[in-house]
Amino acid sequence: MLTNPQFRVRFLSRLGALSLITIGLVAGVAAAPASALQGALLQGTVATAVPSSGWSPPASANYVALGDSFTAGQGAPPYKAGACMQSKYASYPSIAAAFSRLRLIENKACSGATVAAVGAQLVGVSASTTFVTLTVGAIDAGSNDVLAACAPDPASQLCADAIAASTAKLQALGPQLAGLYATIAATLPEARVVVLNYPRLFNPGVAPLGDLVNTATDALNAVIQGAVAATGNTRIIHVDVTQEFAGHGIGARLPYIAFDQANLLAVANFHPNALGNALGYTRALANDGVLRR
């Protein structure tokens, strides 16, 4: 838990300052009213710390990020070279490392990564790694298939079939995730493994598709939380990001999720933008007592 109030305010205030620096990277934010932006930054200075693990990083924590497009930072272009859609400047691992004791050794996350692919990302990771974060499970649960089937017509049979298939995949996903988390912890015996879940992508009531996707996200997040608990390993920590993203989904005046209505195929769409990575994911890590200076 962030027991030092001065640090918590200072840390979260710096995230607010960072969001001002990166605001030009966020599609549509330039048109947001100044009062909305001010309110979002103010939230960052008064967020309530919620204890998660009782653990804080040592003086210098060697940090490796694993996972899918949400950890890669796909919603916050420009990207590094390669096919993984890693943000050059504004992935949450980069932001978290810049404002904490974490020393980011490598972000190995890649767009489209499945549970199996994240397991393969462990190759070459030093056993001296003391801190890991990851997001994974959405691709395995069929998130891309649901979006593709339901975007044209949420009331269609094609959409209903995609949701049914995704629900069936969730039943098998829990043990796969628990196995992956346990493998990471066993491979990196000095590391705390921080498992982050997924934000609701849409503000409630924005569209039938939005409500469907949010419901599916809730179901996936429940599986992720259950998988962490199933490991029984106190070094594996679950961090819930939904509170930090609440009110900032697609359709909000100040969205934390990238979405370009003029280009529905934009690769950044449906991922946290720079603000989402700073005031959503990184702030969740701070609020849950994972980050300290």
Name the average pLDDT for the chain: 83
- List Cβ neighbours of 185 (8 Å cut-off, separation of 6 or more): 191, 193, 231, 233, 235, 236
Instruction: Please give the pLDDT value at position 292.
Output: 58
User: CA 282, CA 241: separation in Å to the nearest integer?
Assistant: 9
User: Is 248 inside any structural domain?
Assistant: yes
Please, which pLDDT band fits residue 59 given cuts at 50, 70 and 90? low
> Of 135, 249, 283, which Cα lies nearest the Cα of 196?
135
Residue 292 lies in a domain: no
Contact 49, 1 (CB under 8 A): yes
pLDDT tens by residue, 112-170: 999 999 999 999 999 999 999 999 999 999 988 888 888 788 888 998 898 889 888 99
Q: What is the pLDDT of residue 42?
A: 34
Cα–Cα dist 196/192, whole Å: 13
3-state SS track over the chain: CCCCHHHHHHHHHHHHHHHHHHHHHCCCHHHCCHHHHHHHHHHHHCCCCCCCCCCCCCCCEEEEEEECHHHHCCCCCCECCCCCCCECCCCHHHHHHHCCCEEEEEECCCCCCCHHHHHHCCCCCCCCCCEEEEECCCCCCCHHHHHHHHCCCCCCHHHHHHHHHHHHHHHHHHHHHHHHHHHHHHHCCCCEEEEECCCCCECCCCCHHHHHHHHHHHHHHHHHHHHHHHHCCCCEEEECCHHHHCCCCECCCCCCECCCCCCCCCCCCCCECHHHHHHHHHHHHHHCCCCCC
Domain contains 127:
yes
pLDDT for 176:
98
Q: Does residue 293 lie in a domain region?
A: no
Q: Write down the catalytic residue from 91, 94, 100, 271.
A: 271
In a domain, 216, yes or no: yes
Which pLDDT band holds residue 204 (cuts at 50, 70, 90)?
Answer: very high
Is 238 an annotated catalytic residue?
no
Place of tokens 């000095």: 190
Whichever domain contains 23, its CATH number is 3.40.50.1110
- Which position has the higher pLDDT, 59 or 26? 59
Q: Are 142 and 150 in contact (CB under 8 A)?
A: no
Question: Model pTM?
Answer: 0.81
The answer to whether 170 and 223 are in contact (CB under 8 A) is yes
User: For residue range 223-281, what is the model confidence (pLDDT) as tens digits?
Assistant: 999 999 999 999 999 999 999 999 999 999 999 999 998 988 899 999 999 999 999 99
List all residues 6 or more positions away from 30 whose beta carbon is below 8 Å from its beta carbon: 23, 24
Annotated active-site residue in 52, 69, 87, 166: 69
CA pseudo-torsion sign 234, 238, 243, 248? positive
Residues of the domain holding 272: 5-287
**How many structural domains comprise the chain?**
1
pLDDT of residue 191 exceeding 60: yes
Contact 228, 237 (CB under 8 A): yes
Q: Are 225 and 176 in contact (CB under 8 A)?
A: no
User: pLDDT tier at 57 (50, 70, 90 boundaries)?
Assistant: very low
Using the structure block, give the residue that is written with the tokens 């498992």. Answer: 195
Is 49 a domain residue?
yes
- pLDDT per position as a tens digit, 213-238: 899 999 999 999 999 999 999 999 99
